[in-house]
Structure 1
Amino acid sequence: MQQVLITGGTGSVAGAIVERLLADPAVERIVIYSRDEHKQGDMMQRVAQSGTPFDFFLGDICDEEALFRALAGIDTVIHTAAMRLVPHAEANPAECHRINVGGANALTRAVGRSDVSKVVAISSDKAVAPSTIYGTTKFAMERILVDADKRQNARYSLVRYANVIDTRSSVAPLFLKQKESGVLTITDPDMTRFSIAKRDGVDLVMTAVNDGLGGDIFMPISPSYRVGDMAEAIAPEAEHRIIGSRPGEKMHEIMFSMVESPQVVKRGANYVFLPRTGRWDVEPYCEQTGATKLETLFEYGSGDNDDWLSVEDIRRVLRDEGMIA
């Protein structure tokens, strides 16, 4: 992993990945590929004194030729570019499909013409039994990259995780903002979510970069919390106003389904899903990696998890992430 390109490289998770890469002496150069010149300018200032060479490319993720030019000399690609806010995706389904599916196609074609050896892409729990256009496009992206893994010299691995607790797609920043008004809008207090901090997401990405064999989808084993408990942890004195769920919003997050379960193994602190359309079956993957088959088949959802965060646990997580004092 000497020269790394990050698509969507100015996003919040990508920014955390950059910080991790800056601490890795094996990283010789970082390339940021995105389409927001203002965010690139801000990042240029932040990394100016890092000592690591940076290049910045302005380009659309669907532009194969621009991607190909940016991939010159690159060993590893971390693909974070996506349209991911569910309400915006539902209101703009064609654009969501263009970016998330068209971008995956453009990336695999560009990588196939390059000397890239490893690609790691960020998927989502919403790709499991998708109920929104965003989830559907992430499901398609997974299949496109797993297929490319079989046909190219580059190895493609993915990570699948839920909403990161300290990013805009999570309910926590919304509640922190609403706290100032004295009213928190809650879809359903019994709705559950997996607890994934930004550093956990970065850890998972780096695990896939370093240990992925291609055609494997890494998923973290994480605790769950109830949305009502999150509201209580952030603003117990505020009014908690129930507004109902948004179109397509699931009551519980699902990291892998019962249908996928036969192709899931436990590898270290994570589960790994091996799509039947990919290069690996369960037995040889376990022999190669030391992973273990599931003793019983099950659906891994946030609603029936064995590990739960209490209200005080949630406050501790928020303090650890610097979101509350």
Structure 2
Amino acid sequence: MFKNKSKKLIFRILLLMLVDAMIITLAGPVAIYIRYNLLFEPRAIEFIEHIFRYLPLNLVITIAAFTACRLYQGIWKYASASDLVNILVGCLISAVTQTIGMTLLGLEFPRSYPFMYFVVLAMGISVFRFMYRILGYFQSRYVGGEKKNMENTMIVGAGEAGYTLLKEIQNSKFIRQNVCCLVDDDPGKRGKYLRGVLVAGNRNDICRLAEEYDIDEIMIAIPSATRGTVQEILDICSQTSCKLKVLPGIYQLVNGEVSVSKLRNVEIEDLLGREPVDTQVESIMGYVSGKVVLVTGGGGSIGSELCRQIARHEPKQLIIFDIYENNAYAIQQELKRNYPELDLVVLIGSVRNTHRINGVFEQYRPQIVYHAAAHKHVPLMEDSPNEAIKNNVMGTWKTAQAADKYGVSRFVLISTDKAVNPTNIMGASKRLCEMVIQMMNDRSKTEFVAVRFGNVLGSNGSVIPLFKKQIEEGGPVTVTHPDIIRYFMTIPEAVSLVLQAGAQAKGGEIFVLDMGKPVKILDLALNLIRLSGLKPYEDIDIKFTGLRPGEKLYEELLMSEEGLQSTENKLIHIGKPIEFDEDLFVHQLEELNELSKMDSPDIKKRVAEIVPTYHMEEKRQ
């Protein structure tokens, strides 16, 4: 097989040399005839005879020059500007050596001949080489003059990234895209052509051009654009029925990684309408280096991301504690694979088990604790309120007590915006957890803090994966209420906030992220359907199911009694704790513990007495 390939390569090179020899042979006479206006004058014939006398030497020298310039090593189907430069250099060497050689041999030629020979030879070699590329392009893109199942495509962005993307699409026989037009907001580019494709307008023309060119897919290639700019463009694109893909970020352009393979499907995160929160994690993560760190609920969405970030910063030991063995096993295998030097301990157990949690603290003596273990699904907890109290409240209290007993330096609770004016037992239980943290901070040398944020996109049970699955199954997409709104953030943002709290904690704070404007769930559903290339209510129906038990139309991040204190990061604030009788609260916790053990039907009423902002009557709207 190797021999066959070698034979084919040698045959290809010999064939190229033969064609080049023909072009070299013709270049001289053609140059002379052009010089004499294509007339067969005696003087012209005499010059041609001189050129043929020198021809054998010219062929040897020129072929050698072409070889030195790698004209027989290139893949001419993908010829580029650098290949053209090599052709020009080879032809220039041929013209110069021929001029010198014929002069030394006393062979006369017109003074303009060397230049005209160079032009004719360069044109002949270039046309032959690039004709190979042109034929290859048409062969890969067309069969019998007809396009093969190609999707009409629009590229937004006629800059460097757009050019590179367009070039790859046009050159690849594996990509079934036909780029019909380009869009760019630079007025100087409008009406011009990029690799033969018209820059037909700006972002305001996207909908019109999509219809005019019957566009199937829109590719956004503006890696330097801000999140706000991309969102504006996506808002326009979502009004079409086109599929959307976007080039991730400017680093792709800097690293030379702009390509079709780097395009990703547009995610709903792109439409949140704010820049990603930068908490400068790298600069503050030094405090975990060399420390023993415990993450409860370490197999969950937030917990596992916490473990990944912590593992990168060389803790002395990382302990993952989770009751769900499948989740714990998955993150264990990932961390072992990515951080083989990490001292990793994975333990199965429940934060509700006093003996188990105390045993973990006694044996491993963690210095930093991230408490992410909790039940979080609102409707499920409404039907099992005692479990919410056992796991969320009592689990937090027992873990916090163990942290105090065994000298933990910092304890960070993962809370939620549902703890603010809660209308469900899950939110009320998380508010009780915040109160536990506040109370423990006042009674312990351990620095206890809470971190409160909204819905986490991509986490287990979040609305986006549900919508995607419903769209894949053909619908309908279910939305509880047309006016329901929520704050959203990404998992990396949530984790970066938690880590920031751990680094800056002084004790007793509730850290709150400014998550911009809340998002309407119906708008998320509509946009996700459109971004999938489908039409709402036509291809995919939307069904309103009504608010679930304990669910409210909107979430808040702060109670009215709380104030906001700024931090160095303008998007992160600290809520002022609300004062309460801590001795009475401890007594109430003990009562709740007993009630939850008995699965008391009055558990919600008792919680409402402890958390005045818990409004049980707002179950449905």
Q: TM-score range by the shorter chain?
A: 0.7 to 0.9
SS in structure 2 opposite 1:210? helix
Equivalent of 1:232 in 526, 533, 538: 526
- Aligned 8 A contact 2:457 2:490 in 1: yes
Q: Percent identity?
A: 28
How far the C-alpha of 1:32 sits from its partner, in A, is: 0.6
CA distance in 2, matches of 1:240, 1:18: 38
Please list the CA deviations of residues 123-162 of structure 1 after superposition, one character each: whole Å capped at 9, or x if unmatched.
1111111110101100101001110001011000110111
Deviation at 1:259, TM superposition (A): 2.3
Range 92-101 or range 35-44, more displaced: 35-44
Q: Is the 8 A contact 1:64 1:109 kept in 2?
A: no
Letter in 1 for 2:514: I
Q: Distance in 1 between matches of 2:435 and 2:442?
A: 11
* Separation in structure 1 between the aligned mates of residue 545 and residue 560 of structure 2, nearest angstrom: 31
Out of 556, 560, 564, the residue aligned to residue 264 of structure 1 is 564
Distance between the aligned counterparts of 1:43 and 1:170, measured in 2?
20
Shift of 1:277: 3.0
Question: What is the match of residue 185 of structure 1?
Answer: 478
Q: What residue number does 1:294 align with?
A: none
Paired AA for residue 182 in structure 1: G
**What secondary structure sits across from 1:157 in the alignment?**
strand
Query: What secondary structure sits across from 1:258 in the alignment?
Result: coil
In structure 2, which of residues 429, 448, 463 is the aligned counterpart of residue 137 of structure 1?
Answer: 429
Q: Which residue of 1 aligns with 2:210?
A: none
Per-residue CA deviations over 1:28-63 (Å, capped at 9, x if unaligned) read 210011112232222222122312111112211112
**Distance (Å, rounded) in 1 between the aligned partners of 2:327 and 2:358:** 22
SS of structure 1 residue aligned to 2:351: coil
Take 2:414 and 2:453, find their aligned partners in 1: how far apart are those partners? 8
Deviations 1:221-269 (A, max 9, x none): 0122111110012113221112221122111110012222xx3212222
Tell me the CA shift for residue 208 of structure 1.
0.5
Measured in 2, the distance between the counterparts of 1:134 and 1:182 equals 29
Instruction: Please list every run of 5 or more consecutive structure 1 residues that lacks an aligned counterpart in the other structure.
Output: 279-325
Q: Is this contact kept in 1: 2:379–2:550, CA < 8 A?
A: no
In 1, Cα distance between equivalents of 2:331 and 2:357: 20
For residues 211-250 of structure 1, the aligned pairs below 5 Å read 211-223=504-516, 224-236=518-530, 237=535, 238-250=540-552
Show CA shifts across 1:66-122 (max 9, x none): 212222331100000001111111111111110011101111221121021100010
Matches within 5 A, 1:92-103: 92-103=384-395
- Asked whether the equivalents of residues 160 and 218 of structure 1 are also in contact (C-alpha less than 8 Å), the reply is yes
One of 325, 338, 346 as aligned partner of 1:56: 346
2:366 counterpart SS class: coil
| Contact 1:147 1:277 (C-alpha < 8 Å) held by counterparts | no
Q: How many equivalent residue pairs?
A: 275
The structure richer in helix per residue is 2
Task: Give the SS at the match of 1:253.
Answer: coil
Quick one: distance in 1 between partners of 2:332 and 2:490?
A: 25
C-alpha contact 1:146 1:277 (8 A) present in aligned 2: no
Q: 1:270 deviation in Å?
A: 1.1
Q: Which region of structure 1 is more displaced relative to structure 2, 50-59 or 125-134?
A: 50-59
1:194 aligns with 2:448: no
SS in 1 for 2:319: strand
Contact 2:479 2:522 in 1 (8 A): yes
Partner of 2:449: 157
AA at the equivalent of 2:543: R
| Partner Cα separation in structure 1 for residue 304 and residue 561 of structure 2 | 34
Aligned positions of 1:108-123 closer than 5 A:
108-123=400-415
Q: What is the DSSP-based 3-state SS (H/G/I as helix, E as strand, rest coil) of the residue aligned with 2:298?
A: coil
More strand by share: 1
Is the Cα contact below 8 Å between 2:375 and 2:381 reproduced in 1? Answer: yes
Runs of at least 4 residues off by over 2 Å = 37-44
Which residue does 1:285 correspond to in 2? none
Partners of 2:482 and 2:512 lie apart in 1 by: 25
DSSP-derived class of the 1:196 partner: strand
| Unpaired runs of at least 5, structure 2 | 1-287, 581-621
Q: Give me the whole-angstrom Cα distance separating, in 2, the residues matched to 1:64 and 1:172.
A: 36
